[in-house]
Structure 1
Amino acid sequence: MAGFGDPRMENVDASGLKLGIVGSRWHDELVDHMIERAKAAAEECGVTDVVVARVAGSVELPIVAQAMARKFDAVVALGVVIKGETDHFKYVCNSVTDGLTRVALDESTPVGHGVLTVMSLGQARDRAGLEDSVEDKGWQTTVAVLDAALALRELAKP
């Protein structure tokens, strides 16, 4: 968390859009909450068609995000990856980021990267939108991806 540069996303009117949310089951207490915050953000933005899917870990997020991107106007991917003592963290983070970016570009559908890549459980809790969190990545990622979907919709107009 840089602590500066936040675009201060406002809720958008995304009525009529369809949203897919995919979350990992690793660190399920945090991801469950992030999913609830994502659903709440979608509702606040007028989205009523929301489908949630769960996968084992963050590496599995891109493939389900791709399936969702083929059916929905926007997708939010949520997970938590905490650095351990090996390079596995780096490979997982790179794989997830590259995969989600590829899905968005290949499918021309906004895919929100709400995967927390942190050094500690405390950092994850600070970003998960809990009562005492500094950030709310479930909410912020959802509003950002809906905003991008609206921008694409506007660009598609003749």
Structure 2
Amino acid sequence: MSGHGAPENDVSSIKAQGLDIKVAVVAASWHTEVMNGLIEGALRAASDAGLRPKVIRVPGTFELSVAAARLAPHFDAVVALGVVVRGGTPHFDYVCSSATQGLTEVSVRTGTPVGFGVLTCDTDEQALDRAGLEGSSEDKGYEAFAAAVNTVAALRWAGV
């Protein structure tokens, strides 16, 4: 079951500690309803953490990696939001693999935490259920933002 075993997404300690974390949210444009939900979730997490992220839109999920690579040196964290819904061609596999590998590479190469909010779903219904919309069972935009800023806080606590 998706979401099973997920950690608490508490970002209140960011606000309570007065941490100044500069965050970029880079979001794809395909699947407007799902993307609006993911972005709204990330912005709710930002508000809960007392942060004001910069939101940048790119055409699709494939473009998230290059945008994150350019943004990472200028921000403490990058949150990547996108959605790929399986179709009848191998396009789904290529885009999902490229986005995952590219965003991982950005994070490891730059040392900048990248929140992975890319939905890889078999159906539109699955994407909507994870988008943080009214009636959704999960809020992956919120979770990706929380993961990124909590990683920044953990690294700062460790002194690195």
Q: TM-score, normalised by structure 2?
A: 0.93
> Which one of 17, 33, 43 corresponds to residue 39 of structure 1?
43
The range that moved more, 31-40 or 74-83, is 31-40
The answer to whether the aligner puts 1:17 opposite 2:17 as a matched pair is no
> Which one of 133, 138, 150 corresponds to residue 136 of structure 2?
133
Identity %: 46
C-alpha distance in 2 between matches for 1:62 and 1:70: 13
Whether contact under 8 Å (1:12, 1:143) holds in the other structure is no
- Post-superposition offset of 1:6: 1.4
The answer to whether the aligner puts 1:98 opposite 2:104 as a matched pair is no
C-alpha distance in 1 between matches for 2:129 and 2:65: 24
Question: Mapping of 1:1-150 within 5 angstroms?
Answer: 1-14=1-14, 15-48=19-52, 50-150=53-153
Secondary structure in structure 2 of the residue aligned to 1:13: helix
Indicate how the Cα distance of structure 1 residues 12 and 106 shifts in structure 2: closer, same or farther if over 3 A, else same.
farther
Gaps of 5+ in 1: none
C-alpha distance in 2 between matches for 1:42 and 1:3: 21
C-alpha distance in 2 between matches for 1:139 and 1:130: 11
C-alpha distance in 2 between matches for 1:27 and 1:132: 18
RMSD of aligned C-alpha atoms? Answer: 1.2
Whether contact under 8 Å (1:58, 1:92) holds in the other structure is yes
Whether contact under 8 Å (1:75, 1:110) holds in the other structure is yes
Secondary structure in structure 2 of the residue aligned to 1:8: coil
Whether contact under 8 Å (1:12, 1:146) holds in the other structure is no
- Post-superposition offset of 1:34: 1.1
- Post-superposition offset of 1:3: 4.5
The amino acid that maps onto 2:8 is R
Count matched residues.
Answer: 156
C-alpha distance in 2 between matches for 1:52 and 1:3: 26
C-alpha distance in 2 between matches for 1:152 and 1:64: 23
Gaps of 5+ in 2: none
Secondary structure in structure 1 of the residue aligned to 2:156: helix
Secondary structure in structure 2 of the residue aligned to 1:25: coil
